[in-house]
Amino acid sequence: MMAKTITKKTAKKATASRKMSAEHKEALARGREQGRAVRDYLAALNEQKKPGRKLDPDTLKQQITETQRAIDTEPDPAKRVELIQKRLDYEERLADTGEKVDLDALEKQFVKVAKEYSERKGITYTAWREAGVPAAVLKQAGVPRTRRSAA
């Protein structure tokens, strides 16, 4: 018996004939929206927890200038590349200082979607807590406290 080979053309025909229902499209859009809300909120929480002191933009600009002077005068190529990386790190931190994140707005979006997202993805209360989501936020979202027994 010969196996039927699927070419790009036949695969295209098969997928073209199947149309997505409006409900399916809506569910996909809702899932994308929920995923975006969860990712944005968790990223904002992680940003707050970054170690080290927060430097103001003027201090960072000064450090960039000083580091550039050191780069210009450094004779050792290995140290020079380290200084270049240091300057790039300062420039990245400076760029990040301009982005003010509205944590309250992100939290409100998270609260709207967290329960349904948790149920759909099988994410427990404990997993959210370990990821850094405050208990009060989970309570507000309606995510029930759960315990998983150790296997």
Residue span of the structural domain in which 126 resides: 22-51+102-151
Decide if 40 is inside a domain: yes
Same-domain pairing of 82 and 93: yes
Q: What is the pLDDT of residue 79?
A: 92
Same-domain pairing of 35 and 58: no
Same-domain pairing of 85 and 107: no
Number of domains in the chain: 2
Integer Cα distance of 141 and 136 in angstroms: 9
Contacts 24+ apart (CB under 8 A), 36-44: 37/106, 37/109, 37/110, 37/112, 37/113, 37/117, 38/110, 38/113, 38/114, 38/117, 40/106, 40/109, 41/106, 41/107, 41/109, 41/110, 41/133, 42/131, 42/132, 42/133, 44/101, 44/103, 44/106
pLDDT band at 108 (very low <50, low <70, confident <90, very high): very high
Quickly tell me which residue has 């010969």 as its tokens.
2
pTM of this prediction exceeds 0.75: no
Same-domain pairing of 33 and 58: no
Q: For residue range 9-30, list pLDDT tens digits in order.
A: 655 655 556 788 989 998 888 8
Decide if 133 is inside a domain: yes
Residue 58 DSSP code? H
Same-domain pairing of 96 and 58: yes
- To the nearest 10 degrees (0 to 180), the angle between helices 103-121 and 22-48 is 130
Same-domain pairing of 65 and 106: no
Q: For residue range 78-87, list pLDDT tens digits in order.
A: 999 999 999 9
Decide if 9 is inside a domain: no
Decide if 11 is inside a domain: no
Decide if 1 is inside a domain: no
Closest CA to 55 of 23, 92, 19: 92
Decide if 45 is inside a domain: yes
Over pLDDT 90: what percentage of the chain?
44
